Structure 1
Amino acid sequence: MNLLEYMRAKDRMTQAEWECTFQDDEREILVVLAEGQGANKRNGFWEVSVDFLAHVECETGTLFPNEGRLVYPATDEDHDTGDIFSRFKERTIYRVKVRKKIPEEVPEIVTASSQNQFRVVEVCEENPPCPELEEILAEYCRPIILNDEVLGELTLDKTLGVFEGKAQWRRASIDISLEVNPAQKASWTKARKAMKSLLEGQEQWDRDMRACAARSLTASARDWQESGDDEAPEITQESFAQRIELSSISVSAGGSFTAYFDDDQMFFGHCIMVRGTLKKGAVSAHMGG
């Protein structure tokens, strides 16, 4: 079964069929939650998931230091009222009664953590004492900071998998983001190298990104201008390129980047996004939110 077939089969699953993918027997576990919640629409219900870092089997006291998910169903009414995520708090330890997911054959791309699931039957206690899980939670909450001789101080957002910091770009301060795999330090090194390459060649990169944005969006900016101030000066590619200002850059370990420019109100405050790679340069631009 390929990934598309697998996802379609899950989307067709009724709640009764979904319930049958978990063992019948109930057990109590202690679980420490991470940051991360989600919901997927199934056939007549919503499958809500909450990420956890590790769990302890209450009956045996055995610690399982593997990431996974607590899951539970929700109705359309729950979803529409925005109430489906109120059951649990992030970065919190719980004692819950659950049913474990029955192992199944899945495509290779499906992560192990997404298959390590427990169907929530009852939430028994919030913040029960558990030294082992408390230690795991403390380590999870401890910030990871990199100090780079060029990039300065970078702080890891573990939820997004992004190192964030500040840098100088043509005598102005901008936000920088390095997209990484938090578990693979090799990706940290590659992303830092990619960002340094952009900063070292910033004068040329700045010209190229502005030119790319101007080629792609000047005509659209004129249309927006016509719906606003008719007396404003005509927008040309040259004036467009000069008016926008870089506010932040995000770069991946693979060398792709997205640059975010302020629009100088040409799109009434919407940002301008320029995408590209270190090898191909700036290749596309569009208006963002």
Structure 2
Amino acid sequence: MTLLEYMRRRNKMTLSEWEDSFEKKEKEIIVLRHEGGGGSLRNGFWEWDAYFLTYVDCETGELHKEEGRIEFPVIDKEEPPFQFDEESIYKLRVREKLPEEVPEGALPAKNHFLVVEILERNAVCPELEEMLIEYRKPVVLQDDILGDLTYDKLLKSFEGSIDWLGGKVHLSLSVGKDNKSGITKAKKLLKTMVLEQEKWDADLRSFAAKELTEFACEWAESEEEAALITEESFAKRISLSLLWVTSGASFSACFDDDELFFGHSIAVSGSLKKGMISAKIEG
């Protein structure tokens, strides 16, 4: 079975088929809900997920220090049967997801539970309460060049800003807070760009203009407007707003388009090793 076939099969599941993918036996767990979640449309219902950071099995008392999700069906046009606040502890009656074979490219379900009943909100659990206190503490990277970068738990990235040729540019390190080697690589890339910002700014603008000027002319609302769009004018009009880097030392530099593409952003991507690779419009 291919990944596409697997996804199509999941999307065709009826509510009863979906519920049968969980154990019949019910159990009680206590979960530390952090943030994140969403819905997927199935056959006549929405599969709704809320993520949790860790959970305790009430029968065994075992603490499972792995993220997971609690799931429940939502029928179209009906109110969701459950609401879960962020950064809260819940005691739940649930049914655990049955193991299943998945094709290459799909992750097997782990720590997925169908919610049967909310037994307690703000449940008392010293272990999870201690973890919640620790989780709420801000994680900040301090750097002499990049300044303070604060970890965004939802985005799973470090966020900050930097002075850039007289203006401000947002910084985003898309790397987990515990990935020390990834943080080192991402910071090294950003520092190189910031310390050599005049060269990087000129090169990024020039590359974007070379790749997208012709496209911008096609977007122009008149021939007169198109005639004014040259590589030189394109490069001058756009303005850098975001530098986004990854743990693998690749980057995307995002520019405001000055209405060249009716408000879409322009992203120039590449890496230190390969240089600038692509320029495209986004958003």
TM-score by length of 2: 0.88
Decide which of 255, 262, 269 is 1:261's aligned counterpart: 255
Q: Is the Cα contact below 8 Å between 2:55 and 2:64 reproduced in 1?
A: yes
For residues 250 and 117 of structure 1, what CA distance do their matches in structure 2 show?
Answer: 32
Shift, 1:12, TM fit: 3.4
Q: Determine helix, strand or coil for the equivalent of 1:269.
A: coil
> Equivalent pairs: percent with the same residue?
49
Deviation per residue, 1:7-52 (Å, 9 max, x gap): 3443333222221221112222211111110222223322111111
**Is the aligned partner of 1:199 residue 2:194?**
yes
Decide which of 240, 263, 267 is 1:246's aligned counterpart: 240
The verdict on how the C-alpha distance between 1:204 and 1:84 changes in structure 2, with shifts beyond 3 A counting, is farther
Decide which of 211, 219, 239 is 1:216's aligned counterpart: 211
Q: Once structures 1 and 2 are overlaid, which stretch shifts more, 183-192 or 232-241?
A: 232-241
**How do 1:162-173 and structure 2 match up within 5 A?**
162-173=157-168
For residues 33 and 190 of structure 1, what CA distance do their matches in structure 2 show?
Answer: 31
Q: Is the Cα contact below 8 Å between 1:270 and 1:287 reproduced in 2?
A: yes
**Is the aligned partner of 1:155 residue 2:171?**
no
Which residue number corresponds to residue 135 of structure 2?
140
For residues 74 and 118 of structure 2, what CA distance do their matches in structure 1 show?
Answer: 15
Q: Once structures 1 and 2 are overlaid, which stretch shifts more, 188-197 or 264-273?
A: 264-273
Amino acid at match of 1:236: T
The verdict on how the C-alpha distance between 1:11 and 1:208 changes in structure 2, with shifts beyond 3 A counting, is same
Q: Once structures 1 and 2 are overlaid, which stretch shifts more, 88-97 or 55-64?
A: 55-64
Amino acid at match of 2:245: V
Q: Is the Cα contact below 8 Å between 1:69 and 1:118 reproduced in 2?
A: yes
Give RMSD over aligned pairs: 2.6
Amino acid at match of 2:65: P
For residues 231 and 211 of structure 1, what CA distance do their matches in structure 2 show?
Answer: 20
Q: Is the Cα contact below 8 Å between 2:217 and 2:227 reproduced in 1?
A: no
**How do 1:39-118 and structure 2 match up within 5 A?**
39-78=39-78, 84=80, 87-106=83-102, 110-111=106-107, 114-118=109-113
Amino acid at match of 2:126: P
The verdict on how the C-alpha distance between 1:84 and 1:214 changes in structure 2, with shifts beyond 3 A counting, is farther
Q: Is the Cα contact below 8 Å between 1:37 and 1:85 reproduced in 2?
A: no
Shift, 1:164, TM fit: 0.9
Q: Is the Cα contact below 8 Å between 1:22 and 1:99 reproduced in 2?
A: yes
For residues 80 and 215 of structure 2, what CA distance do their matches in structure 1 show?
Answer: 40
For residues 105 and 231 of structure 1, what CA distance do their matches in structure 2 show?
Answer: 57
Q: How many residues align?
A: 283
Shift, 1:241, TM fit: 0.5
For residues 23 and 264 of structure 2, what CA distance do their matches in structure 1 show?
Answer: 50
Shift, 1:121, TM fit: 0.7
Q: Is the Cα contact below 8 Å between 2:218 and 2:226 reproduced in 1?
A: no
Unaligned runs of 5+ in 2: none
Deviation per residue, 1:161-185 (Å, 9 max, x gap): 2111122322332111111133422
The verdict on how the C-alpha distance between 1:85 and 1:235 changes in structure 2, with shifts beyond 3 A counting, is farther
Q: Determine helix, strand or coil for the equivalent of 1:77.
A: coil
Which residue number corresponds to residue 25 of structure 2?
25
Which residue number corresponds to residue 272 of structure 2?
278
Deviation per residue, 1:47-83 (Å, 9 max, x gap): 11111111223344433222211011122334xxxx5
Q: Determine helix, strand or coil for the equivalent of 2:98.
A: coil
Which residue number corresponds to residue 7 of structure 2?
7
Unaligned runs of 5+ in 1: none
Q: Is the Cα contact below 8 Å between 1:212 and 1:283 reproduced in 2?
A: no
For residues 172 and 85 of structure 1, what CA distance do their matches in structure 2 show?
Answer: 48
Q: Is the Cα contact below 8 Å between 2:32 and 2:55 reproduced in 1?
A: yes
